[in-house]
């Protein structure tokens, strides 16, 4: 049982790390967005594998809530991105400097 | 380690690496699709059939289609973006921070996974009926709050798309 657990935990940590590296190093706002999705998915995998180990289905319920949050995040985030694009005509995050000084 | 896990883990990791290294956003979205499908297969392995189905319908179906739609809408052919940040310090710091975060989570979560006691799976674990039971009894309030959240996101999306902000 423990071995099954460990392989899933390590896979999900690796996916989370890849998402974090992508978020910190890319400059295309859309790819940043997809990196966030990757991190959310890694957390989902970890929750499901913990739920399997504990034999407790609450973990799967939590995953469904994360689905709802991810859907809301995508809807609002992409709408913000589109209205930013209307102003700046670019998806380069280095050009989104309205709030910098 | 069984062959099923290895195949889909390699598929997920490859897709994830492709997502963050692809030059354009559209191939990157296809890499993300690979990750979603592989994870859905892994959920089946973990006795979570409903989550696996929702992974395909919500993530690969709804969310990814929305992302691809926006990619098509926003990508102007004359804008050629470099793949990574131009500033070298950004790249190095990002890679170091990401690797550090990964190592930290592996160590921390492995510790937790040793603490968590392994229970025997009960009869019918992961059955959608049991999940619905939990949803509408134990987590009813959370369920309603999630629907309010979705409503707020809906209104915000309409507002942002309509108004000239």
Identity of the residue in B71, B94, B114 whose CB atom sits nearest the CB atom of A30: B71
Structural domains of chain A in order of their starting residue, each with its CATH number: 2-95 (1.10.287.3510)
- The complex's ipTM works out to 0.90
Number of independent structural domains in chain B: 2
Long-range residue pairs from A71-75, CB within 8 A, at least 24 positions apart, any chain: A71/B58, A71/B62, A71/B63, A71/B150, A71/B153, A72/B149, A72/B150, A72/B152, A72/B153, A73/A36, A73/B153, A74/A33, A74/A37, A74/B63, A74/B66, A74/B67, A75/B66, A75/B153, A75/B154, A75/B156, A75/B157
Q: What is the pLDDT of residue B11?
A: 94
Domain CATH for B71: 1.20.120.1200
B65 is a domain residue: yes
> Taking a contact as any Cβ pair under 8 Å apart, which residues of chain A between 7 and 26 contact chain B?
7-11, 13-26
Residue B48 maps to a domain: yes
B88 or B99: which carries more pLDDT confidence? Answer: B99
B133 and B70 in one domain?
A: no
CB atoms within 10 A of CB A37: 22
Q: What's residue B84's pLDDT?
A: 60
Task: Tell me the pLDDT tens digit for each residue of A50-92.
Answer: 888 888 888 899 999 999 999 999 999 998 888 888 888 778 8
Which residue of chain B is at minimal alpha-carbon distance from A12? B106
Q: Within a domain: residue B162?
A: yes
Domain boundary among the residues B14, B41, B76 is at: B76
């Amino acid at each position: 049982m423990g071995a099954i657990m460990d392989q899933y935990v390590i896979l999900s940590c690796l996916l989370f790390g890849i998402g974090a590296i992508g978020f910190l190093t890319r400059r295309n706002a859309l790819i940043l967005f997809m990196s966030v999705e990757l991190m959310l998915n890694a957390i989902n995998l970890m929750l499901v594998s913990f739920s399997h180990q504990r034999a407790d289905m609450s973990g799967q319920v939590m995953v469904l809530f994360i689905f709802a949050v991810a859907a809301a995040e995508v809807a609002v985030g992409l709408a913000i991105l589109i209205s930013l694009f209307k102003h700046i005509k670019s998806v380069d995050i280095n050009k989104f400097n309205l709030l910098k000084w | 380690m069984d062959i099923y896990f290895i195949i889909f883990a390699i598929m997920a990791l490859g897709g994830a690496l492709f997502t963050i290294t692809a030059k354009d956003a559209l191939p990157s979205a296809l890499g993300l699709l690979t990750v979603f499908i592989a994870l859905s297969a892994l959920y089946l392995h973990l006795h979570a059939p409903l989550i696996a189905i929702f992974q395909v319908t919500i993530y690969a179906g709804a969310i990814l289609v929305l992302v691809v739609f926006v990619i098509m809408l926003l990508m102007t052919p004359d804008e050629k973006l470099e793949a990574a940040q131009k500033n070298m310090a950004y790249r190095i710091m990002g890679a170091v921070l990401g690797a550090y975060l990964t190592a930290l989570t592996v160590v921390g979560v492995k510790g937790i996974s040793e603490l968590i006691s392994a229970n025997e799976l009960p009869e019918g674990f992961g059955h959608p009926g049991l999940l619905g039971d939990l949803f509408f009894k134990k987590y009813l309030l959370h369920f309603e709050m999630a629907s309010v959240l979705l409503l707020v996101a809906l209104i915000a999306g309409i507002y942002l798309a309509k108004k000239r902000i």
